[in-house]
Amino acid sequence: MQYEFSIQVTPEVSANLDLLKTQVSIKNGLPIDEIRHILILKRSIDARQKAIKVNLKIKVYVQEDFVEESIQLPEYPDVSNASEIVIIGAGPAGLFAALRCVELGCKPIVLERGKDVRNRRRDLKAINRDHIVNEDSNYCFGEGGAGTYSDGKLYTRSKKRGDVNRILRLLVGFGATDQILVEAHPHIGTNKLPAIIASIREKIKQHGGEIYFETRVTDFKIKNSEINAVVLHNGDVIETKKVILATGHSARDIFELLYKKNIDIEAKPFALGVRVEHSQQLIDQIQYKCEVRGPYLPPSPYSIVKQVGGRGMYSFCMCPGGVIAPCATSPGEVVTNGWSPSKRDQPTSNSGIVVELRLEDFKEFSEYGPLAGMYFQKKIEQRAWHLAGETQRVPAQRLVDMTLGKTSLNLPETSYKPGLTSVDMHEVFPKFIHKTLQEGFKAFDKSMRGYLTNEAVVHAPESRTSSPVRIPRDRFTLEHTQIKGLYPCGEGAGYAGGIISAAIDGEKCAEACVATIA
């Protein structure tokens, strides 16, 4: 017999199958010697009270042996000679669009401006050590997109977008731990993601799909409001009637190209702010209300939202046991982001802390039309680069000093490898953002006592939270509202906000595109 239960236990019981069996037996009146196996279906931590509990959804096998399920990938056909669909970008949206195309019997041709995951590492080393930014290969551009080397969080609130569990199961099929199916906030880790991404790439190629790296699209050929071809940086032309545009939130050259060619795009609100680093021990103490986390609890994350003067200010992409990375995509700018390895075992934690922006905030850049938000974003990144010394060092300030408007006389070493320059944040941001951050951090401390400490360091800016542009598409066909055969997709087009939602959108665009092929 199999029974499903929800049960709340201590962290120690959650981590010990024998103790869990005893608890299940006592609470549900099942003879312990008849319990053959307990399968944990879902796990979440409840740290709201001093006595921390773990919520489990479990399946109990009573007088019945457990047979472990092996997750199987779909039966992918050979699409070598099938109808072709060009996919621009090999981030999660582009790769999952390509997989779905193969599954549905069409041949994807994926064009990625950056390098494959292995060769991409050299350019990440160069930006960290030598302050050299490769405009086509960096933390944002390259195989797997920004997600590959930016943590691998798989949690999404966008349950209505599509089948989250399908994407998770595909990731497990390609090598991710099956624990991502269990945890409330699943996470793969930057150290694990590259091998998974490479497995996806090989599967696409094995079944007849094509993937080209260091291949940047520089133009579209359009006739009678229909896509006819894409032009590459070397002058090559690929004729096509179907293009899935999945270039990510930092492909500014693509936004510029669309605007130049009078292809409809829209300015979109986004959020911008800083990335703040604390010791992981402090965050654990605040969140778990204990001096020492202990062996049965993971490094604690946090999530916090406040309204400050009518604007939202909130944590974004919080990385427990993680580090801060340089994520510029062009020389002359600095950008921060964060990531965690799979074990989340670094001594520091960091989070983007960002302020919501509105379209009216971009009035100074109205001459750029729908690109106003992008130029607002760009100006802050360039100003930060200049203030920090025109390298990949970033403006930084101790957290309490920031709230007081006081330049920090010295800065501790942080996980951000290119280095820090002491700068008062009011020089980096417009007054309304700076003031919101100052007041917001004080409000944060009321919810998380001890958060506001001068041992924490603010790094600026955290500016690539989402795309500053939306590329409009039909609600049902997912085609661009103006250009037939063009399918705006994923984060860059304004329809996703993370690995899972981007992957779901990639699949949806592939399905819509394939449906139009006779």
DSSP 299: P
Q: How far apart are CA 473 and CA 481, in angstroms?
A: 5
Q: Which two tokens stand for residue 132?
A: 């050299």
Same-domain status, 184 and 253: yes
- Whether this prediction's pTM lies above 0.85 is answered by yes
Q: Which two tokens stand for residue 463?
A: 């500016």
Same domain for 235 and 104 = yes
503: Cβ contacts below 8 Å, ≥ 6 apart: 92, 93, 95, 96, 167
Q: Do 214 and 236 share a domain, yes or no?
A: yes
Residue 119, in any domain of the structure: yes
In this structure, the dihedral spanned by the alpha carbons of residues 229, 232, 237 and 242, taken in order and rounded to 10 degrees, is: -30
Shared domain for 413 and 501, answered yes or no, is no
Same domain, 395 and 490: no
Q: Give the H or E element holding residue 244.
A: strand 243-245
Q: What CATH number is associated with residue 230?
A: 3.50.50.60
Reading the chain (518 residues) residue by residue, the pLDDT tens digits are 999 999 999 999 999 999 999 999 999 999 999 999 999 999 999 998 888 999 999 999 999 999 888 899 999 999 999 999 999 999 999 999 999 999 999 999 999 999 999 999 999 999 999 999 999 999 999 999 987 776 567 766 655 567 999 999 999 999 999 999 999 888 887 788 889 999 999 999 999 999 999 999 999 999 999 999 999 999 999 999 999 999 999 999 999 999 999 999 999 999 999 999 999 999 999 999 988 898 999 999 999 999 999 999 999 999 999 999 999 999 999 999 999 888 889 999 999 999 999 999 999 999 999 999 999 999 999 999 999 999 999 999 999 999 999 999 999 999 999 999 999 999 999 999 999 999 999 999 999 999 999 999 999 999 999 999 999 999 999 999 999 999 999 999 999 988 999 999 999 999 999 999 96
Quote the number of domains for the chain: 3
* Secondary structure class of 38 (helix, strand, coil): strand
The enclosing domain of 52 has a CATH number of: 3.30.70.2700
31 & 141 share domain: no
Q: Is 422 a domain residue?
A: yes
What's 482's DSSP letter?
S
Looking at residue 191, what is its pLDDT?
Answer: 80
**CB of 124 closer than 8 Å to CB of 149:** yes
Does the N-terminal peptide bond of residue 461 adopt cis geometry, omega within 30 degrees of 0? Answer: yes
Q: Both 9 and 131 in a single domain?
A: no
Measured CA to CA, the distance from residue 332 to residue 425 in angstroms comes to: 19
Crossing angle for the helix pair 117-125 and 193-206, to the nearest 10 degrees: 140
In a domain, 296, yes or no: yes
145: three-class secondary structure by DSSP: helix
Instruction: Kindly report each contact of residues 76-81 with a partner whose C-beta sits within 8 Å and lies 24 or more positions away, as own/partner.
Output: 76/102, 76/103, 76/203, 76/206, 76/207, 77/102, 77/103, 77/105, 77/207, 78/207, 78/208, 79/105, 79/106, 79/107, 79/108, 79/207, 79/208, 79/209, 80/107, 80/208, 81/107, 81/208
Integer Cα distance of 387 and 155 in angstroms: 35
Q: In DSSP terms, which residues pair with 267 in a beta bridge?
A: 469
Cα angle vertex 404, ends 378, 412, to 5°? 75
pLDDT of 192: 85
CA 301/CA 305 separation, integer angstroms: 14
78 in any annotated domain: no
Are both 371 and 227 inside the same structural domain? no
pLDDT (0 to 100) of residue 157: 61
449 plus 489 within the same structural domain? no
Task: Identify the helix (H) or strand (E) that includes residue 18.
Answer: helix 17-28
On whether residue 68 sits in a domain, the answer given is no
Residue 75 within a domain: no
CA-based nearest residue to 66, from 17, 136, 6, 115: 17
Closest CA to 54 of 16, 9, 21: 9
What's the CA gap between 411 and 421, in Å, rounded? 8
| 3-state secondary structure labels for all residues of 383-442 | HHHHHHCCCCCEEEEEHHHHHHCCCCCCCCCCCCCCCEEECCHHHCCCHHHHHHHHHHHH
Q: Both tokens of residue 347?
A: 């001594």
Angle at 306 between CA 305 and CA 308, to 5 degrees: 150
Q: What is the pLDDT of residue 50?
A: 84
The size of the chain, in residues, is: 518
Is residue 125 located within the same domain as residue 41?
Answer: no
Beta-bridged to residue 244, according to DSSP, are 87, 487
The DSSP bridge partners found for residue 87 are 110, 244
Whether residues 295 and 440 fall in one domain: yes
Close Cβ partners of 141 (under 8 Å, ≥ 6 residues apart): 113, 114, 135, 248, 250, 251, 329
Q: How far apart are CA 37 and CA 63, in angstroms?
A: 9
The confidence score (pLDDT) of residue 124 equals 93
Does one domain contain both 55 and 197?
A: no
Per the structure, the complete domain to which residue 47 belongs is given by 2-62
Cα separations in angstroms, 188 against 1, 155, 336, 403:
33, 11, 20, 35
> Would you say residue 339 lies in a domain?
yes
- Distance CA(91)–CA(139), nearest Å, equals 12
